[in-house]
Structure 1
Amino acid sequence: MKFIKLTALLMLAFNAQAQLLEPGTLNSTGGNYVFRGAPTIPNFSLVWSVGESTLIETFSVNGGMYLLTQGVLQPFVPLDLQTVPIQGWNKEEVKYYPNPVSTQLQFDLFSNDTGRVVLRILDLLGNTHGVREFEYKTLPVNQKIDFSKYASGPYYLMLSLYSKGQLKKHSVFKILKLR
């Protein structure tokens, strides 16, 4: 019994002193760029450096509290690179029916937001089967999408709204195609 208590106390003591280390690198110069998305280009971030050494060497200071690795870019996400949450479409804004569909899908959009809407039909592998783009100015949009040419199976309706070049809303809806 004493052994179990001693083991539990030791485990608690070691866990209390645990720390989180994030790798990083110090370069002579470099920078980063964040692109928040556009109708034809998804979000991405780019990090670069100049004068990075090809020799990889790691130094530790203060008993391993600080690590310096030179020679390789290390992954990190500072606060200014974190993704801004994108709002999704709600049930009152988007209607699509019938689901499952056999020939034509009715798509209705009712939103107070404005901007460029991009509607994509994707299959399970992510292949695009159709794209529609239009300017949306808070007036109801009613469109019919012809599913008769598609094979039976699941598809995805990806709906994105861009305002001033920035992705504002994005949602994906599952559609089942029947014969």
Structure 2
Amino acid sequence: MKRQLTLVLTGIAMLFCIRGQSQSITPFLLNASGGTYDNSTSYTRFEWSFGELVLTDTYKSPSGNLILTNGLLQPCTDKVVSDPEILLFGTNEWKIFPNITTGKFELDFFLNIPGQMELQLTDAMGRVINTRKFIYHCCDRIERYDISNLTNGTYFINARFWPERTLTFPAATATKREGTFRVIKAQ
């Protein structure tokens, strides 16, 4: 009796140790033939496959040396890869006023560390309209923009900040910052 109880309890314990398998939340495809290319300078990964059993349209270059299909091996995911050396701008470190604007607006920064700042004003399609680079001197900075000559719509300001590494501002408190701020222009 004692031996049977030990055997049953051991079996139950082993069941708890087995890792449960279920469908992964990340897309996956068993690719029998094809390949991949990881771009080391970005988070882009290219994958290709030959002979999948899905219906896709195929396009051929005039020379015939390139064939393009519109099928995807992996659909887009919302996984965000983050760099521990880069922080997003905090909500108390910037302000856009007025937003919604008829043309003129200002972007204010409230960082307490010096460094270099780069701002890119882009439209909704990602085309760069304006680029600014300047030294940020540890105090409030106001950047004024005038987009009254642009069409109504949504615009974005991509901001990057690289802190100075000095004795006053050690590396532990001086971290790179990035952020994208939305500006809406309407009449």
In structure 2, which of residues 15, 18, 23 is the aligned counterpart of residue 16 of structure 1? 18
Cα distance between partner residues in 2 of 1:158 and 1:148: 19
Q: Tell me how far 1:178 sits from its aligned partner.
A: 1.0
Match of 1:143 in 2: 143
Distance 1:173 1:140, change over 3 A: same
Match of 1:119 in 2: 119
* 8 Å CA contact retained: 1:116, 1:163: yes
Letter of the 1:171 partner, please give it: G
TM-score by length of 1: 0.52
Q: Tell me how far 1:140 sits from its aligned partner.
A: 1.5
Match of 2:94 in 1: 94
* Runs of 4+ off more than 4 Å: 164-167
Q: Tell me how far 1:109 sits from its aligned partner.
A: 1.3
Cα distance between partner residues in 2 of 1:92 and 1:164: 20
Q: Tell me how far 1:164 sits from its aligned partner.
A: 5.3
RMSD: 3.6
In structure 2, which of residues 173, 176, 179 is the aligned counterpart of residue 171 of structure 1? 179
Q: Runs of 5+ in structure 1 lacking a partner?
A: 1-12, 20-33, 35-42, 46-81
Cα distance between partner residues in 2 of 1:141 and 1:155: 21
* 8 Å CA contact retained: 2:87, 2:175: no
- SS of the aligned residue for 1:133 comes to strand
Structure 1, residues 111-162: CA drift from partner, whole Å, max 9, x if none? 1122110111111221111111100111211221011121111111111101
Q: Runs of 5+ in structure 2 lacking a partner?
A: 1-14, 22-39, 44-81, 166-173
- Once the two structures are superposed, the pairs formed by residues 60-139 of structure 1 within 5 Å of their partners are 83-139=83-139
* 8 Å CA contact retained: 1:160, 1:167: no
Greater share of strand residues, 1 or 2? 1
Letter of the 1:175 partner, please give it: V
Distance 1:134 1:88, change over 3 A: same
- SS of the aligned residue for 1:113 comes to coil
Cα distance between partner residues in 1 of 2:163 and 2:112: 12
Cα distance between partner residues in 1 of 2:125 and 2:113: 31
Q: Tell me how far 1:90 sits from its aligned partner.
A: 1.7
Distance 1:167 1:108, change over 3 A: same
TM-score by length of 2: 0.50
